[in-house]
């Protein structure tokens, strides 16, 4: 058990921060998750390793301590493609991770679970004869609306300034208020849709409370500047949000020293990514170190009660 002491400071590192949660937090729908099942059904999905599938296929070799080069090799392997929950790429990554754990002698369970997975719904915004990409906020209904736009600042009282937004498209800046509050403020004022413009480079997604009644999409800061200009001029802006997707499936990969072990310590990190990014840092790096620690700790025998996990759907809102 000696190496476990050294493990503790490392644990904090693996919980790689996904910094985009704060604004959505109060309104963040605690995405309903069905009870995880150890999935024989995962075999139904192409590329998914069936659940426990018998005993380990190897035993750990190499130094009995963490080896950065070995961890780096896992980062390189995992970050060849984005690993969005519910995609074949996620299943490929889960298979890779499961194989690594098994080769170190662990019993591996690939657990499939369902969650409300619409955080990465594409959408679009149309104005001045051009169409730009958007992301539909989780909890937004689908829909297609077009209306004269009003720029409402942060969508707070000052930004809305008592205006009647009936029949209008609201355009707001991201920041200060969480998305659910921005949504509610413009909806109460009568808006038919809301476009939230990022306040830093790139695009983003976030969560509304469930039951939102007007569509809400997010656009990047780069594209959003022109959207804000169009709104300030009161020009027509259209938005389109696709229908909700309902439940999405995702995978957890759990390595245990023996079948049925109780996990007194669970060393884990998420392995899924946002779309379009191979996620070498967030969070192949954490996953790779979980795999490597599992190997290093197994070299002189598996530790009772010490389990390792790679989790899905973190970036999708869990
Ligand atoms: Zn992350």
Which of 42-46, 202-206, 289-293 has the lowest average pLDDT? 42-46
- Count the residues in the chain: 318
Most confident of 21-30, 58-67, 163-172: 163-172
The pLDDT assigned to 34 comes to: 43
Tokens 């970036």 -> residue: 315
Q: Is the pLDDT of residue 114 over 50?
A: yes
The pLDDT assigned to 43 comes to: 40
Q: Read off the pLDDT of each residue in 112-135 and give the average, rounded to a whole number.
A: 85
Distance 133 CA to ligand 1 centre (A): 23
The pLDDT assigned to 49 comes to: 47
CB 312 within 8 A of CB 94: yes
Distance 116 CA to ligand 1 centre (A): 18
Crossing angle between the packed helical segments 68-78 and 88-103, to the nearest 10 degrees: 160
Q: Is the pLDDT of residue 41 over 80?
A: no
Distance 217 CA to ligand 1 centre (A): 22
Q: Read off the pLDDT of each residue in 140-169 and give the average, rounded to a whole number.
A: 96
Distance 19 CA to ligand 1 centre (A): 8
Confidence band of 230 (pLDDT split at 50, 70, 90): very high
Q: Is the pLDDT of residue 123 over 90?
A: no
The pLDDT assigned to 50 comes to: 45
Distance 129 CA to ligand 1 centre (A): 36
Q: Is the pLDDT of residue 247 over 70?
A: yes
Query: What's the CATH number of domain 121-241, 3.40.50.20, 3.50.30.30, 3.40.50.720, 3.40.50.300?
Result: 3.50.30.30
Q: Read off the pLDDT of each residue in 33-44 and give the average, rounded to a whole number.
A: 41
Q: Read off the pLDDT of each residue in 57-75 and give the average, rounded to a whole number.
A: 94
CATH code for the domain defined by 3-13+24-114+252-257+273-311: 3.40.630.10
Which secondary structure element, helix H or strand E, spans residue 237, and what is its range?
Answer: strand 236-241
Distance 175 CA to ligand 1 centre (A): 20
The pLDDT assigned to 20 comes to: 43
Looking at every residue in the chain, the average pLDDT score rounds to: 84
Domain locations along the chain: 3-13+24-114+252-257+273-311, 121-241
- CA atoms of 27 and 207, how far apart (whole Å): 7
Distance 169 CA to ligand 1 centre (A): 32
Percent of the chain at pLDDT above 90? 64
The pLDDT assigned to 270 comes to: 97
Distance 56 CA to ligand 1 centre (A): 29
Between these two residues, 274 and 113, which has the higher pLDDT value? Answer: 113
Q: Is the pLDDT of residue 37 over 90?
A: no
How would you class 190 by CB atoms within 10 Å of its CB: exposed for 0-12, middle for 13-18, buried for 19 or more? middle
Q: Is the pTM of this model over 0.85?
A: no
Distance 313 CA to ligand 1 centre (A): 9
* Topology agreement, domain 3-13+24-114+252-257+273-311 and domain 121-241: no
- CA atoms of 189 and 183, how far apart (whole Å): 10
Distance 24 CA to ligand 1 centre (A): 15
């Amino acid at each position: 058990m000696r190496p476990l002491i050294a493990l503790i400071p490392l644990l904090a590192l693996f919980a790689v921060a996904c910094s985009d949660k704060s604004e959505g937090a109060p309104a963040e729908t605690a995405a309903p998750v069905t009870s995880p099942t150890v999935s024989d059904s995962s075999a139904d999905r192409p590329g998914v390793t069936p659940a426990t599938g018998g005993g380990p296929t190897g035993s750990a070799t190499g130094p009995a301590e963490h080896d950065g080069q070995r961890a780096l090799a896992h980062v390189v392997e995992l970050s060849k493609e984005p690993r969005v929950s519910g995609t074949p790429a996620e299943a490929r990554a889960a298979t890779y991770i499961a194989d690594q754990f098994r080769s170190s002698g662990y019993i591996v369970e690939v657990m499939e679970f369902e969650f409300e997975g619409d955080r990465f719904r594409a959408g679009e915004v149309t104005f001045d004869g051009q169409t730009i990409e958007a992301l539909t906020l989780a909890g937004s209904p689908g829909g297609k609306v077009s209306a004269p736009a009003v720029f409402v600042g942060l969508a707070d009282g000052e930004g809305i300034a008592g205006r009647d937004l009936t029949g209008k498209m609201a355009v707001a800046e991201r920041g200060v208020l969480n998305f659910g509050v921005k949504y509610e403020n413009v909806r109460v004022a009568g808006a038919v849709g809301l476009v939230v413009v990022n306040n830093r480079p790139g695009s983003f997604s976030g969560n509304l409370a469930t039951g939102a009644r007007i569509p809400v999409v997010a656009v990047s800061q780069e594209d959003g500047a022109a959207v804000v200009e169009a709104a300030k001029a009161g020009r027509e802006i259209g938005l389109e949000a696709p229908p909700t997707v309902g439940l999405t499936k995702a995978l957890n990969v759990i390595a245990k020293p023996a079948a049925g072990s109780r996990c007194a310590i669970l060393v884990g990190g998420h392995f899924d990514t946002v779309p379009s990014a191979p996620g070498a840092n967030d969070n192949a790096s954490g996953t790779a170190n979980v795999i490597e620690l599992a190997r290093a700790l197994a070299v002189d025998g598996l530790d009772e009660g010490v389990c390792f996990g790679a989790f899905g759907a973190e970036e999708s809102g869990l």
